[in-house]
Chain A
Amino acid sequence: MNYVFHFGIVWDHWRDLADGAWLTVRLSAMAMVLGLGLSICTAYAKLSRVAPLRWLIGSYVEIIRNTPFLVQIFIIYFSLPALGLRLEANEAALVAMVVNFGAYGTEILRAGIEAVPKGQIEAARSLGLTRPQTFRFVILYPAVKVVFPALASQFILMMLGSSIVSAISAVELTAVTNSLQSTTFRAFEFYFVTTAIYLALALVFRAVLGGLYWFVFHRDRPA
């Protein structure tokens, strides 16, 4: 092996990589917030008394969880325009990530909701709380607390999975790296560094989410 490394050339393009990484972070963070919102709505709808609504949510979860993210992106970016819904690459990427995270989030939240003692829900109902109020004040908080680690892992998986949106020319970290390596012919250096950036992002997000957990669920709350 007589290969001469040129990591300097990666450093010369640090601004492009930083821009790409920033888009990755933005997309992931937005997808997490919107996806969590979506999955709270769907998890609530899944408790509905209307059976067709439950089936609808159930099929959404199963369909998304049993098809590849890449194909979901293609459907949103290439198929939907035929129905008159044309999205920019970045928008399509965000929509795909939200829809994807929403399905996994629904399933994760379901586990958390099942962990809430039935007696608490009955107590809330007997105190005259409406169903939405029961969900909002009695179920949601402990449910999210129980499954927070699972949500955090799923979020990290989604952040890493966002590299796949480079396939539809959303210029996030992976796409930036692709174009840089093809112009500089330094494939190994660029992919090595980008892989390291993803690893660092995963560690940072893990730490941030751990901090968030502490902030929301563990600090001493004034009575």
Chain B
Amino acid sequence: MDSIGSYFTAIAQPKGLGNLSRNFGWSELIFLLSAVRWTLLLSMIAFAGGAVAGLLVALLRTAPIAALRWIAIGFIQVFQGTPVLMQLFVCFYGLPVLLHVEVDPWPAVTIAFMLYSGAFLGEIWRGTIQAIPRSQWEAARSLSLSYLQQLRLVILPQAVRIAIPPTVGFLVQLIKGTSIASIIGVVELTRAGQLMTNVTFEPMLIYPVVALLYFALCWPLSLMSRYLEQHIDTNLSTKWSL
């Protein structure tokens, strides 16, 4: 099979050593491409779980009861103030010895990233809930809606609109973040790159390709986030005032 990497191998390796290793050819490239789905799957699960946790955190953070707000603040502080990698290690190495259970890499990674994105999304969405003008709450209350009805019928529908651009932006951060799952051996894009490097000895070629694949996933989202930021009308105060 024709090898893309042979040209680079000739530069990077002394002659004669090439026989010992595989070259970076189409099958290796396809292996990397197919690992993209694990990165995407992991990001999606983490995002879905994180969205549930994040909504809860955002609601607690803006709740009318001080104790609930403090719980949410503590959660956000801890998860934004510590490295994701540490959260991952606590889930993967720490919890099994604590609870006497075997934890596979996938559940550990999923739990860690759900909590992590819950904290970040919670903080982002808190901002958007608080960005809704006070008069909206008051108007809803004067219509004798209960607190949950005020949220569900008046506040959240408006908050969701302005929450979209930063949420898409966080998705980029999350997709990049999932690369550290490779450190505990989950085979996603970065780990696939490591595996391919181990058999081809061509890091010069493979890691840039891996970076390129991440870029292809993240850049469109970044552009979309920026576009939405400019085109979604976030000027609530003028829009709703008399």
Please give the residue numbers on chain A whose beta carbons come within 8 Å of chain B beta carbons, in ascending order: 1, 3, 62-63, 65-72, 74-75, 78-79, 82-83, 156, 160-164, 166-167, 174, 177-178, 181, 185-188, 191-192, 194-195, 198-199, 202-203
B208–A174 touching, CB < 8 Å: no
Does residue B98 face the partner (Cβ distance < 8 Å to A)? Answer: yes
B215–A195 touching, CB < 8 Å: no
**Of B82, B98, B210, which contacts A202 at CB under 8 A?**
B82
B residues in contact with A167, CB < 8 Å:
183
Stretch of B65-73, B134-142, B171-179, B230-238 with 4 or more beta carbons under 8 angstroms from chain A? B171-179
10 extra interchain contacts, Cβ-Cβ under 8 A, other than A70-B180, A75-B208, A164-B180? A1-B99, A68-B214, A71-B207, A74-B210, A79-B203, A174-B83, A178-B89, A187-B93, A195-B86, A199-B78
Does residue B182 face the partner (Cβ distance < 8 Å to A)? Answer: yes
Residue of A nearest to B222 (CB): A66
- Say how far B42's CB is from chain A's closest CB, in angstroms: 12
Give B161-188 as 1s and 0s: 1 = Cβ < 8 Å from A's Cβ atoms. 0000000000010001101101100000
A residues in contact with B193, CB < 8 Å:
71, 74
- Say how far B194's CB is from chain A's closest CB, in angstroms: 8
- Distance in angstroms between the alpha carbons of A151 and B82 in the assembled complex: 18
Interface SS of B by simple majority: helix
A-B contact pairs, 9 of them (CB 8 A): A63-B211, A67-B211, A68-B179, A68-B180, A72-B211, A74-B194, A74-B210, A164-B180, A191-B89
**Of B82, B179, B218, which contacts A199 at CB under 8 A?**
B82
- Distance in angstroms between the alpha carbons of A162 and B193 in the assembled complex: 21
Does residue B197 face the partner (Cβ distance < 8 Å to A)? Answer: yes
B190–A202 touching, CB < 8 Å: no
B83–A160 touching, CB < 8 Å: yes
Given contacts A70-B190, A71-B211, contact A188 B90 (CB under 8 A): yes
A residues in contact with B100, CB < 8 Å:
1, 3
B179–A187 touching, CB < 8 Å: no
B222–A65 touching, CB < 8 Å: yes
Given contacts A62-B219, A161-B83, A174-B83, contact A187 B94 (CB under 8 A): yes
What is the size, in residues, of chain B's interface with A at 8 Å between Cβ atoms? 45
Given contacts A1-B98, A62-B222, A191-B94, contact A74 B81 (CB under 8 A): no
- Say how far A46's CB is from chain B's closest CB, in angstroms: 16
Does residue B97 face the partner (Cβ distance < 8 Å to A)? Answer: yes
B182–A70 touching, CB < 8 Å: yes
A68–B176 touching, CB < 8 Å: yes
A residues in contact with B218, CB < 8 Å:
66-67
Given contacts A65-B222, A71-B193, contact A82 B203 (CB under 8 A): yes
- Distance in angstroms between the alpha carbons of A164 and B84 in the assembled complex: 9
Given contacts A65-B222, A68-B179, A74-B207, contact A198 B83 (CB under 8 A): yes
- Say how far A10's CB is from chain B's closest CB, in angstroms: 13
B82–A160 touching, CB < 8 Å: yes
Does residue B117 face the partner (Cβ distance < 8 Å to A)? Answer: no
- Say how far A208's CB is from chain B's closest CB, in angstroms: 15
**Of A82, A156, A188, which contacts B94 at CB under 8 A?**
A188
Given contacts A3-B100, A79-B204, contact A203 B176 (CB under 8 A): no
A203–B81 touching, CB < 8 Å: yes
